Amino acid sequence: MLQQTQAARVIPRWEAFVERWPSPADLARAGDADVLRAWDRLGYPRRALWLRRCAVEIVEHHDGRVPATREDLLALPGIGPYTAAAVASFAFGVPEAVVDTNVRRVLARVEEGSEEPWAPNAARDLAAYRALVPAPPPDDATAVRRANRWNAAAMELGAIVCTARTPACERCPVAERCAWRRAGYPAGPTAGVPRRKQARYEGSDREMRGRILHELRATTTAVPLDALHDAVVRGGHDERFARALASLEADALVVVDDGAASLPS
Ligand code: SF4
């Protein structure tokens, strides 16, 4: 939910979501349409469907309990290495290395003396990070807790102190060992390279997908395609409509049947 939407807007939606479906079994019993309605405009609606499929797998293969190991989490639909490690570490206290964009930047600066990572290399970054995370004996609960706190601390350091544009080195707890600082802050590999502008949302196919989903979320019956077109195009003809509808169908977010569209049941 937080991928594309600010936390302040996400929190009420998240609270309503977990109140309605507090356990994997509850979510597994829900219909895709209801889950998509609850997801509303949080962005990346396919994640809502993945989340429900994940809940179904958890019910079928894990007795309704979210598994605690990285391996079992990774086997679930829609869960990648980062999410698996984060859930294992933050929800279950398993000392897994959690490497996000912020941690990767801190690693590049402190360890490699580079302003930013040279190229995204998840395997390399994970290995480098694992070498730094305290490796607690599994039977030492205090040490295990410390290792997980280390994860949270590294993420916060990157998010709040060692930010991409304005690192606050004067209040950085690892300033003494930071190779980039010691080297005098040499420019990184993308210095001077113009940043790629984010594609405009207005007028994009994404915007049209959002409008179509908005219309379909508002009703529980199938909407004839002509009426749907008129509702979302608002006069005239827009070639994005057919493209957006086809892509929503391909993503299993919309079902088109007998000349009418609806959310999947
Ligand atoms: S000293 Fe500065 S650049 Fe180095 S890790 Fe700390 S905040 Fe980042």
pLDDT of residue 4: 79
Pick the CATH number of 101-182 from 1.10.1670.10, 3.40.50.720, 3.30.70.20, 3.30.300.30: 1.10.1670.10
Distance CA 219, CA 121 (A): 44
* Main-chain phi, psi angles of 103, to 5 degrees: -65, -40
pLDDT in tens, 39-50: 988 888 999 999
Distance CA 101, CA 154 (A): 11
Please give the residue that has the higher pLDDT: either 15 or 131: 15
| Contact (Cβ atoms closer than 8 angstroms) between residue 178 and residue 115 | no
pLDDT of residue 29: 97
Q: Which CATH class is domain 7-66?
A: mainly alpha
First to last CA, the chain: 21
Q: Best of 165, 181, 182 to mutate for ligand 1, by most ligand atoms within 8 A of CB?
A: 181
Which ligand 1 atom sits nearest the alpha carbon of residue 167?
7
Which residue has a Cα nearest atom 1 of ligand 1? Answer: 175
Token reading at 216: 């379909």
Residues 6+ away with beta carbon under 8 Å from 161: 167, 168, 171, 172, 173
Least confident of 33-42, 87-96, 141-150: 141-150
Domain parsing of the chain, residue ranges: 7-66, 101-182, 205-260
The overall average pLDDT reported for the chain is 89
Q: How far away, in angstroms, is 161 Cα from ligand 1 center?
A: 7
pLDDT in tens, 231-249: 999 777 788 999 999 999 9
pLDDT of residue 135: 72
- What pLDDT band is residue 227 in, cutting at 50, 70 and 90? very high
Q: How far away, in angstroms, is 6 Cα from ligand 1 center?
A: 26
- Ligand 1 is surrounded, with C-beta below 6 A, by 106, 109-110, 161-162, 167-169, 172, 174-175, 178, 180-181
Helices (H) and strands (E) in the chain, counts: 14, 3
pLDDT in tens, 147-183: 788 888 999 999 999 999 899 999 999 999 999 999 9
| Contact (Cβ atoms closer than 8 angstroms) between residue 263 and residue 36 | yes
Q: How far away, in angstroms, is 78 Cα from ligand 1 center?
A: 34
Which residue has a Cα nearest atom 2 of ligand 1? Answer: 169
Q: How far away, in angstroms, is 171 Cα from ligand 1 center?
A: 9
What is the DSSP secondary-structure string of 3-70? SSS-HHHHHHHHHHHHHHS-SHHHHHHS-HHHHHHHHTTSS-THHHHHHHHHHHHHHHHHTTS---SH
Q: Best of 101, 165, 174 to mutate for ligand 1, by most ligand atoms within 8 A of CB?
A: 174
- What pLDDT band is residue 192 in, cutting at 50, 70 and 90? low
Report which secondary-structure segment, H or E, holds 261: strand 260-262
